[in-house]
Structure formats: C-alpha cells, structure tokens
Amino acid sequence: MTGSRVVALGHYQPAKVITNEDLAAMVDTNDEWIRSRVGIKTRHMAGPDEPVDELAFHAAGKALAGAGLTPDDIDLVLVATSTAIDRSPNMAARVAAKLGMGGSPAVMDLNVVCSGFTHALATADHAIRAGSAARALVIGADKMTEITDWTDRTTCVLTGDGAGAAVVEACEDPGIGPVLWGSVPEMGHAVRIEGSPPVFAQEGQSVYRWTTSQLPALARKVCEKAGIAPEELAAVVLHQANLRIIEPLAAKIGAVNAVVARDVVDSGNTSAASIPMALSKLVQRGEIPTGAPVLLFGFGGNLSYAGQVIRCP
C-alpha cells in the first residue's frame, strides 16, 4: 500500500501583536500573572479584513511554494478550523478558489477544535493510502480572537490567530505514522465555542487535570504505533495550549533528546493552527533534521486528541 509524507510546510500570522501589557489595560491582569499561569508573552490578532480563509490562504501559498508545486497539483484540500463563521462555501473551497485551483479538488473542513490539524493530517494520509488522492493540502487555521470574551481574564489572555499548512503527497516509504485518535465525549463541556455570536469558554482546571494525567500515556502509545521509542524523537510538537501543560507533558512522554515546540509563548493558543505553525517555524529555523522523527499531538476541544509520528520534511 502506498504511504504518504509531508513534503513542505508554511505558516502565517497577522501583523498586529497584542502584548500582556495591552491586555492589562483591558482587564484585571498583568504580565507576571499571565506568564506564571500560561507562559504567554504575545499573541497575533487578525483584523476584520482577515477572515479564517484569508489566514489559511497565505499559509497554503507558502507551503506550495516550499514544495515547488502549483495549486493545480493538489487534488484534496482539508482545512481544520472551529472559527469559520460562514457555513458555505466552506473554508477549503474558499482557499481553493483564492489559490486559483483549476482542477476539481475535493474540499472539506474538519472541526475538531485544537486537535483539528492532526485529525486532518491523518485523513489526508488515509485518503492517499486508499488511492483517493495523490497530493493534499492540509491546513489548520483559526481566528480565535473573534470568539474571545475580552472581559474574561481567564480566557482572553490565551487566544491568538494564525494558520499553518502542510503539503502531503504519496510515497513508497511512508513518512506519516499511524494515527491514534479519540475523545472523552462526556467531558465535551470542558471546552466550548457556543452561542450566537459564538464565544470561547473553558473549564481550565478540568482541562489541566485531564491533559497532565491522561495524555502522556496516549502520546507514548502514538510512538509505539509508529515503532519509535520516545528517546528517538527529534522533536515534540504538542498543541500550543499553555506552557504549563506543554512542558510537563513533554517531560512525561520521555522524549529526552527532543526539541520541544514552545511557540505558545509568542503566538498564544491558536487552536487548530498551533501545531502546523509551530512545526513550520522549527523547520524554517533548521532545528529539526530532514527525515528525523517528530511527534505531533493535538488535544483540547471535545476533549478530543489525535497524534502521529511524522518524518520531518
């Protein structure tokens, strides 16, 4: 059976930066309080003329350029997002149109919130293995600031906007390992985007307890499915939710030789964009050797999770 691999990455963030000092002028908070609890210094905020598909379009263009491909080389577009306000055309169709895809690509959005990108990457891998696609564009894009309650100091300090993209193509030597995915449906209320207009809310302590107690074993199982020992990992890219979650989780996995992505410090929680954006930056800076094993592990909304080990492009 033909496998698949990630051949190129790209990311995009809006120009506007929101600092902790900016937030302190809006709600009862301060830089020390934010850094000590979530580890975030800055986050990027998209303007009214930068909807989700615009963020995704820019990241996708960079990934295609990195792969040396044209939009017409893509036959599957997947966009992971939970902040698309419009229902149709979906974000994948809008990105395909913005890119000027002249073929007839399949276009799908996936809403698995913070683990959306790793779900989408697995979906692309499965489609390619099944022979339904040859090249896929997989994008995580979210405009979290548009659904943020700016009066709630426990959540408004977290959110940021951005997009990350990967080009995935068929290959004989698989570069994307088996996915481990699942959820805890009875705890779906712990992370919510509800209402009209929709607003992001979460039960922070419930999420923190679940991630720090349950996820290390799941992440190690991802490595086991890929036939990789945690100490062999060159990098660990977890959903960039909170530095207080990322650092203990990476340590408990046992990836003692791995570079750990900490993009949350500069970008905040960008939901489905966080993993591809953090990975793209590590690759751009040359911090991961080509072909080295990298653990991707998304978790969050729905208390869902998905992870796989990939080979660095």
Nearest to 80 by CA among 46, 109, 53: 109
Answer yes or no: are the C-beta atoms of 78 and 110 closer than 8 Å. yes
How far, in Å, are 12, 23, 141, 252, 301 from residue 217 at the CA level? 32, 36, 28, 8, 19
Q: How far apart are CA 20 and CA 22, in angstroms?
A: 5
Catalytic residue among 114, 156, 223, 312: 114
**Paired strand residues for 5:** 169
Query: What's the maximum distance between 2 C-alpha atoms anywhere in the chain?
Result: 57
Which tokens in the block code for residue 114? 């913070």
Residue whose tokens read 């229902």: 87
Helical spans, DSSP H, in the chain: 20-24, 31-38, 52-67, 91-99, 116-129, 204-226, 243-253, 264-267, 274-284
Answer yes or no: are the C-beta atoms of 86 and 267 closer than 8 Å. no
Answer yes or no: are the C-beta atoms of 191 and 21 closer than 8 Å. no
Answer yes or no: are the C-beta atoms of 147 and 200 closer than 8 Å. yes
- For residue 105, give the 3-state DSSP assignment: coil
Residue type, 184: V
**Is 302 among the catalytic positions?**
no
Catalytic residue among 20, 90, 242, 269: 269
Answer yes or no: are the C-beta atoms of 161 and 150 closer than 8 Å. no
**Is 126 among the catalytic positions?**
no
Answer whether the bond into residue 197 is a cis peptide, omega within 30°: yes
Catalytic residue among 11, 239, 242, 302: 239
Answer yes or no: are the C-beta atoms of 276 and 270 closer than 8 Å. no
**Is 269 among the catalytic positions?**
yes
Which residue numbers are catalytic?
A: 114, 239, 269
